[in-house]
């Protein structure tokens, strides 16, 4: 567990430069890094009668302020964290309330068995053209054979807060798909991997686009989560499609 947490901690350092108030979609939308406070967690643990379950919670996430656009992004972040925490109940109004409910449930479910649990999140925000993108890195263990490290990329129209599809972000998805396969093969080669010997569910020359994609100033970030295209042992895959290759594929919203 500690090795996974250390990886996430390094990722969190990359977000430190984004702490404090940042300009978002316009002068009315700002964001800052928020977290579930240690004081709140101490009160939560104290209120739970069963203290036999050891848990570690380190939940950090971007919080937007400034009207309907900010509200839309905050709702998307809350729902994504809830999904990663395997929460299926009525949606709480805040991340704090979500953590309370999940921790209480885990304490009940894991009481008297298992090594405990951990819930770790960090976030990053990028603005390119008319799009605000949020990258959430979420690491969890809630019982079972192993923990799970996942990345979720959320893309929103900065003018109205609408969640964007890939079709609304790129003008030529077939071309993007081809370039993505080439970039994936370059990534494997850089890692010393042979595409014919790794445990892919899909041949490398038939890969679909990742479910998590976002654009920043240096290119298009591509991310496959565990089980998306390969077995768990293959892990997650994160690589960049350089802007020099992708710029002509960006839809008007980026310009």
Q: Mind listing the pLDDT tens digit for each residue in 99-121?
A: 999 999 998 888 766 678 999 99
Q: What is the DSSP code string of 117-131?
A: EEEEEEEEEEEETTE
Ordered structural domains, the chain, with CATH: 2-157 (3.30.565.40), 166-254 (3.90.640.20)
What's the confidence (pLDDT) of residue 8? 39
| H helix count then E strand count, the chain | 7, 9
Integer Cα distance of 227 and 236 in angstroms = 8
What does pTM read for this prediction? 0.86
Which three-class secondary structure state does DSSP give residue 223? strand
Integer Cα distance of 29 and 67 in angstroms = 7
Buried b (16+ CB within 10 A) or exposed e, 163-193: ebeeeebbeeeeebeebbbebbeeebeeeee
Task: Please give the backbone phi and psi of residue 36, each rounded to the nearest 5 degrees, phi first.
Answer: -75, 115
What's the confidence (pLDDT) of residue 114? 63
Q: Which of 132, 128, 162, 11 is nearest to 64 (CA)?
A: 132
Integer Cα distance of 58 and 218 in angstroms = 29
Write out residues in the chain with pLDDT < 70, as ranges. Answer: 1-27, 50-51, 112-114
Residue keyed to tokens 């109940």:
89
């Amino acid at each position: 567990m500690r090795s996974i947490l250390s990886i996430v901690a390094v990722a969190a350092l990359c977000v430190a430069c984004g702490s404090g108030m940042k300009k978002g979609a316009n002068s009315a939308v700002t964001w800052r890094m928020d977290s579930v406070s240690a004081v709140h967690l101490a009160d939560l643990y104290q209120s739970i009668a069963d203290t036999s379950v050891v848990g570690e919670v380190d939940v950090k996430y971007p919080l937007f302020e400034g009207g309907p656009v900010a509200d839309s992004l905050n709702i998307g972040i809350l729902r994504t964290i809830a999904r990663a925490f395997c929460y299926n109940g009525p949606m709480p109004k805040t991340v704090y309330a979500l953590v309370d409910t999940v921790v209480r449930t885990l304490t009940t479910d894991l009481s008297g068995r298992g090594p405990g649990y951990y819930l770790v999140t960090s976030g990053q925000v990028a603005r390119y053209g008319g799009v605000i993108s949020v990258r959430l890195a979420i690491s969890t263990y809630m019982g079972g054979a192993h923990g799970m490290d996942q990345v979720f990329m959320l893309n929103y129209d900065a003018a109205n807060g609408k969640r964007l599809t890939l079709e609304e972000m790129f003008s030529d998805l077939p071309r993007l798909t081809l370039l993505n396969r080439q970039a994936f093969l370059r990534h494997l080669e850089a890692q010393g991997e042979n595409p014919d010997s790794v445990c892919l569910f899909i041949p490398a020359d038939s890969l679909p686009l990742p479910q998590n994609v976002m654009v920043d100033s240096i290119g298009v970030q591509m991310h496959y989560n565990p089980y998306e295209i390969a077995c768990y042992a293959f892990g997650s895959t994160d690589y960049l499609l350089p802007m020099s290759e992708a710029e002509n594929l960006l839809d008007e919203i980026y310009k």
